Amino acid sequence: MALTAAGIDNARFEARLLMAHAAQLTIEQLVARGLDEAPANAIEAVRELTARRVRREPMAYILGEREFWGLPFKVTPAVLVPRPDSETVIEAVLSLMPARDRAWRILDLGVGSGCLLLTLLYEYRQARGVGLEASPEAMAVAQENAERLGVAGRTTVRLGDWRQPGWAESLDGPFDLVVSNPPYIESSAVARLMPEVSTFEPRLALDGGVDGLEAYRLIAAAGPELVTPGGFLVVEGGEGQAPEISGLFAAVGLRPMPPWKDLGGIERVIAAAN
């Protein structure tokens, strides 16, 4: 099988996904029709989709969608593919802010597909959110996902870059909650990531500078002004980065908490109170 030869794990499962997508069927429908002859156009589509996956294009980009927190998110090469590790951010926020009926103000720095902000707005039905995004193409994806999830009326996506002076002042803060999954890979390590990531995902959302902490320094510096007294700053981090991120938050007067671990046992989410 071409997928197996390309070194792809779960090749049989992925082949079934590609076949279902090509035939415009669900997996269940595909299995039910397993003995039916495939239409010629579906066979050609499978060949084209398989060729893309063999080149190690992420499955989410091929299918155009990825599930996050049980919700369907459109994804394109303009945004990072939502990952289960990032669901730890949602878990942390829900434990810190249990009142689901409050009209919280939420800010997502580097909104991407919108998986963090829009999921939180889906959970907090009275909340309103702002997403800051440096890529116009990613902004369009987030806005479409807001429409699809029925939270567009409570969502504002703004073009902005935390590397530019004055970025925080333009956001009409402060906010009860600031979340972010910023780039945290060391610049020199990006090329060594698996090809699905290094070749296809947007470098702007991956490259965290020389030590991987560049974005956290900028976010921490703005944190005390962006977060309301008693509010929270919650970020995702890379393996082994939690102590340094907590130190950056503490240095500006925020109060870091013990990190939340992901399903793999990695300290994945760092939260601090203002």
Q: Where are the domains of the chain?
A: 2-55, 66-273
Assign domain 66-273 to its CATH architecture.
3-Layer(aba) Sandwich (3.40)
What is the residue whose two structure tokens read 């909104």? 111
Question: Can you tell me the mean pLDDT for 238-253?
Answer: 98
Instruction: State how far the Cα of 63 lies from the Cα of 49, in Å rounded to an integer.
Output: 9
pLDDT reported for residue 14: 79
Q: Compute the average pLDDT of residues 177-194.
A: 97
Q: How confident is the model at residue 262 (pLDDT cuts 50, 70, 90)?
A: very high
CA distance 5 to 254: 50
Give tens-digit pLDDT for 136-182: 999 999 999 999 999 999 999 999 999 999 999 989 999 999 999 99
Q: What is the pLDDT of residues 8-58, one digit of tens each?
A: 788 788 778 888 887 777 766 766 665 555 565 667 888 889 889 989 999
Identify whether the C-beta of residue 237 lies closer than 8 Å to the C-beta of residue 267: yes
* Cα–Cα distance for residue pair 153/85, rounded to 1 Å: 28
User: Cα–chain-centroid distance for residue 136?
Assistant: 16
Is the model's pLDDT at 208 over the cut of 60? yes
Query: Which tokens is 172 given?
Result: 């009409």
Residue 115 contacts by C-beta under 8 Å, 6 or more apart in sequence?
68, 69, 73, 82, 86, 145
Instruction: Say what the pLDDT of residue 32 is.
Output: 65
Q: CA torsion sign, 107 to 251 to 240 to 218?
A: positive
Farthest-apart Cα atoms in the chain, separation:
66
8 Å CB contact between 46 and 18: yes
Interstrand relation of 128-133 and 105-109 (parallel, antiparallel or unpaired): parallel
Cα–Cα distance for residue pair 32/18, rounded to 1 Å: 16
Sequence-ordered alpha helix ranges (H) in 64-172: 87-96, 115-123, 136-148
Separation between Cα atoms, residue 215 and residue 76, nearest integer Å: 23
Which residues have a Cβ under 8 Å from the Cβ of 162 and sit 6 or more positions away? 109, 110, 132, 134, 168, 215, 218, 219, 222
Q: Which two tokens stand for residue 8?
A: 């792809």
pTM of the full structure: 0.92
Q: What is the pLDDT of residue 38?
A: 58
pLDDT in tens, 94-140: 999 999 999 999 999 999 999 999 999 999 999 999 999 999 999 99
Q: Which pLDDT value is given to residue 24?
A: 75
Residue 273 has pLDDT above 70, yes or no: yes
What pLDDT score does 25 carry? 72
| Angle, helix 136-148 to helix 115-123, in steps of 10 degrees | 20
In 3D space, the residue among 180, 164, 269 whose CA is nearest the CA of residue 216 turns out to be 180
Count of Cβ atoms closer than 10 Å to residue 96 Cβ: 15
CA distances from 174 to 28, 190, 206 (A): 47, 33, 27
Mean pLDDT of the 208-223 span: 98
